[in-house]
């Protein structure tokens, strides 16, 4: 067993140009690892995995994920890298991946730091302690930075972040500028109207300033406008009177209470054809006045493109659709669109053609990598040619999503189904549609396209 040839994977990572200057360049790591393999005599390089420009804090690195796939397929015995920080800098990520390696009987070794390894109990303990200390150091650094920030805030100095509208920074302090009058008008306008939507439009129409609901709400709740930041009640010169500010907060809280929780049947299923943004729903309440003077409120749910609703300049699709209209459309058309999809799926050879094309491109990428590793081409040539090849890859349909049985959708048009459907709650109806529908695309002319799960 001692002389058995091990299949080893070489893992190389550089996240910054600065690391390359300190002996961690791709070429230097490659040379060190190959030299180590040559000296051992019982190792064969299965494959070299290179992540260029990727942080060790990130778990999802392209080549790293390919390495894990090969580990799970039993193709690798040992993983080699130059230093532990080329592998991981996050203890939680390290432990999660180590569990996968242990399950597949795969070990690793930092060749320039032999005291870091997983083949001995002492080595494992040393790795865990070292990573734990690294995280502790990061936390202590964070606490020191927080202490510095707290001291600056006590002195009224700007720490970081975006400067609020209506202020400039002078000598590290916030000072009101000529746009402070805009801030005052926005607070007053919201107080008079009580409408966030009207306030957003007022800001755009009168001051040519485009803001979404969230940013205007952040403005209206920013306590810097009354001179406060955290525990410092005199952080800067206020723009808004405290009484006005507190009345605005009261109005905001009233609006939140009025917007009670509602169940919308198609939340997350509708997609705008123009910008790709999801449609969001609002309750539209109309009141019918009876002859006796009493009212009969009627609530309908209207879906609109979220981006268009917040800012019409960002998306031109103004088409809104009521929940009842959409529900009737599905009941009337789901069988028809399922049949059209079945016909389209007869063109499956086109999918195979796409896969064959992509396989050829991936083989070219592998040959390109071998050319670089064998020093036939330079790193710059490798990166340039790889980017060009990857741009040629054709997007493939996601086959991981379970396909629905299109034939089963014929049941949706039967009288028995519709009778049972009427008895369902909104939540149950929503769950039913989500079992077969991936999304519904809404076009400006009112046309709708159903995309089924797995297709």
Q: Check residue 407 and give its pLDDT.
A: 58
Q: Is the model more confident about 322 or about 258?
A: 322
Q: Check residue 234 and give its pLDDT.
A: 92
Q: Check residue 270 and give its pLDDT.
A: 92
Q: Check residue 56 and give its pLDDT.
A: 40
Bridge partner list, 299: 285
Which of 13-22, 86-95, 222-231, 394-403 holds the top average pLDDT? 222-231
Pairing mode, strands 173-176 and 270-272: unpaired
Q: Confidence class of residue 296 from pLDDT cuts 50, 70 and 90?
A: low
Q: Check residue 244 and give its pLDDT.
A: 93
Domain layout of the chain by residue ranges:
6-135, 167-258, 325-452
Q: Confidence class of residue 132 from pLDDT cuts 50, 70 and 90?
A: low
Asked if the model's pLDDT at residue 288 lies above 70, the reply is: no
Give the residue ranges of DSSP H helices in 75-224.
Answer: 84-87, 91-103, 121-154, 180-193, 196-207, 213-220
Nearest-angstrom CA–CA distance, 389 and 69 = 22
Beta-carbon contacts of 257 under 8 Å, excluding residues fewer than 6 positions away, are: none
Q: Check residue 176 and give its pLDDT.
A: 96
Instruction: Provide mean pLDDT across the span 29-37.
Output: 90
Q: Check residue 161 and give its pLDDT.
A: 64
pLDDT in tens, 183-232: 999 999 998 888 888 898 889 888 988 888 788 999 999 999 999 988 89
Nearest-angstrom CA–CA distance, 186 and 266 = 34
Q: Check residue 182 and give its pLDDT.
A: 95
Asked if the model's pLDDT at residue 363 lies above 90, the reply is: no
End-to-end C-alpha distance for the chain, whole angstroms: 49
Q: Check residue 17 and give its pLDDT.
A: 46
Backbone dihedral region of 74: left (phi > 0), alpha (psi from -120 to 50 degrees) or beta? left
Q: What is the pTM of this model?
A: 0.37
Catalytic residue (choose from 15, 208, 273, 427): 15
Asked if the model's pLDDT at residue 91 lies above 50, the reply is: yes
Share of the chain above pLDDT 90, in %: 22
Q: Check residue 57 and give its pLDDT.
A: 45
Q: Is the model more confident about 191 or about 286?
A: 191
Q: Is the model more confident about 24 or about 148?
A: 148
Nearest-angstrom CA–CA distance, 447 and 407 = 24
For 167-258, CATH gives 3.90.1750.20
Asked if the model's pLDDT at residue 446 lies above 50, the reply is: yes
Give the chain's length: 455
Instruction: Provide mean pLDDT across the span 268-290.
Output: 80
Asked if the model's pLDDT at residue 146 lies above 80, the reply is: no
Nearest-angstrom CA–CA distance, 333 and 448 = 10
Mean pLDDT of the chain: 79
Class of domain 6-135: alpha beta
Strands in 437-442's sheet, in edge-to-edge order, are: 270-272, 437-442, 448-452
CB 272 within 8 A of CB 317: yes
Q: Check residue 291 and give its pLDDT.
A: 60
15 given a catalytic annotation: yes
Q: Is the model more confident about 198 or about 236?
A: 236
Instruction: Provide mean pLDDT across the span 234-246.
Output: 94
Asked if the model's pLDDT at residue 344 lies above 70, the reply is: no
Q: Check residue 8 and give its pLDDT.
A: 94
Which candidate, 12, 22, 30, places its Cα nearest to that of 375?
30
Nearest-angstrom CA–CA distance, 106 and 88 = 16
């Amino acid at each position: 067993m001692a002389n058995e040839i091990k299949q080893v994977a070489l893992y190389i990572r550089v996240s910054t140009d600065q690391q390359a200057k300190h002996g961690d360049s791709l070429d230097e790591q490659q040379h060190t690892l190959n030299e180590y393999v040559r000296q051992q005599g019982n190792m064969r390089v299965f494959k070299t995995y290179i992540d260029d420009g990727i942080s060790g804090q990130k778990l999802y690195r392209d080549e790293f994920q390919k390495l894990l796939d090969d580990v799970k397929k039993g193709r690798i015995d040992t993983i080699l890298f130059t230093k532990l920080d080329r592998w991981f800098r996050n203890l939680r990520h390290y432990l999660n991946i180590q569990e996968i390696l242990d399950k597949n009987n795969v070990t690793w070794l930092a060749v320039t730091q032999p005291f870091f390894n997983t083949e001995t109990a002492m080595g494992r303990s040393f790795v865990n302690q070292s990573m734990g200390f690294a995280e502790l150091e990061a936390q202590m650094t964070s606490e020191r930075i927080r202490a510095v920030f707290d001291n600056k805030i006590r002195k009224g100095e700007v720490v970081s972040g975006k400067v609020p509208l209506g202020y400039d920074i002078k000598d590290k302090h916030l000072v009101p500028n000529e746009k402070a009058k805009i801030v005052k008008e926005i607070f007053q306008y919201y107080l008079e109207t009580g409408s966030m939507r009207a306030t957003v439009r007022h800001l755009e129409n009168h001051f040519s300033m485009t803001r979404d609901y969230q940013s205007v709400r952040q403005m209206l709740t920013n306590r810097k406008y009354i001179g406060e930041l955290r525990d410092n009640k005199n952080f800067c010169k206020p723009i808004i009177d405290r009484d006005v500010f507190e009345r605005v907060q009261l109005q905001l809280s009233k609006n939140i209470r009025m917007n009670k929780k509602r169940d919308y049947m198609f939340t997350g299923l509708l997609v705008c054809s123009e910008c790709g943004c999801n449609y969001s729903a609002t309750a539209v309440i109309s009141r019918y006045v009876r002859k006796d003077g009493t009212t009969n409120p009627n609530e309908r749910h209207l879906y609109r493109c979220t981006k268009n609703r917040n800012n019409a300049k960002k998306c031109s699709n103004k088409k809104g659709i009521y929940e009842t209209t959409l529900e009737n459309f599905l009941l009337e058309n789901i069988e028809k669109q399922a049949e059209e999809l079945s016909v389209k799926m007869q063109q499956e050879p086109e999918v195979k053609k796409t896969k064959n094309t992509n396989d050829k491109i991936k083989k070219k990428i592998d040959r390109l990598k071998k050319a670089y590793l064998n020093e036939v081409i330079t790193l710059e040539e490798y990166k340039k040619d790889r980017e060009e090849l990857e741009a040629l890859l054709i997007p493939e349909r996601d086959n991981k999503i379970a396909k629905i049985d299109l034939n089963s959708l014929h049941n949706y048009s039967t009288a028995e189904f519709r009778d049972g459907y009427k008895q369902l709650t909104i939540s149950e109806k929503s769950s039913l549609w989500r079992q077969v529908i991936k999304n519904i695309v809404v076009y400006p002319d009112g046309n709708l396209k159903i995309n089924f799960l797995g297709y």
